[in-house]
Amino acid sequence: MDKVIICRCEEVDLEEIKETISKYQCSAREIKLRTRAGMGYCGGRTCRPALNAIVAEISGEKLRHEIPLKIQPPIRPVSLGKIGG
């Protein structure tokens, strides 16, 4: 189970996330920065709910209504030429 990949873009598995949480007792955002989980091509749109849930389960931190991990624009990757267009 620990070898299961949570963040596919940056290839971060459950084990690495669990170890980081227990070592630093940190928030979902800090887990993201320390492991790069959620920082890849999809911008965390795939793994964010999983990451939040793992942090909530291990740290006992309640899932709040406000979003612990923000999603930044654009909604999907877009070329520099189109943005400049």
Partner 1 sequence: MTNKNHAEVAIIGGGIVGCAIAYYVSKAGIDCMLIEKGDLASGTSSRCDGNISIVDKDPGFDSLMSLASQELTAELEKDLNLPFEYRSLGSILVCDNDAEMEVAKQWVNIQNQAGLKFKLLDRTDIRQESPYFADDIPGGLECETDSLINPYLFCYSLIDKAKQYGLKLHTRAEVKLVSKKGDFLIETTKGNFTAKKIVNAAGVWSPFIGKMLDIEIPIKPRKGHIMVGGRQKPIIMRNVMEFGYLMNKFQRERIADSKTLKHGVALVLEPTESQNFLIGSSRQFVGFDARIDYDVVQTMARRALRFFPKLDDFNMIRTYTGFRPWTEDHLPIISEVEEVPGFYIAAGHEGDGISLATITGKLIEEMITEKETTISIEPLRYDRFNKNAVTM
Measure the CA angle with vertex 26, ends 7 and 21; round to 5°.
Answer: 55
Element holding 12 (H helix, E strand): strand 12-13
Kindly indicate which of the ranges 11-19, 40-48, 51-59 contains the residues binding partner 1, using the contact rule CB under 8 A. Answer: 40-48
Dihedral angle at the C-alpha atoms of 21, 46, 62, 23, nearest 10 degrees? 0
Alpha helices in 25-77 (DSSP H): 28-35, 48-59
Kindly indicate which of the ranges 11-19, 29-37, 52-60 contains the residues binding partner 1, using the contact rule CB under 8 A. Answer: 29-37
Site string for partner 1, 43-82 (x = CB under 8 A): x----------------------------xxx--xxxxx-
Decide whether 5 or 78 has the Cβ nearer to partner 1: 78
Decide whether 4 or 79 has the Cβ nearer to partner 1: 79
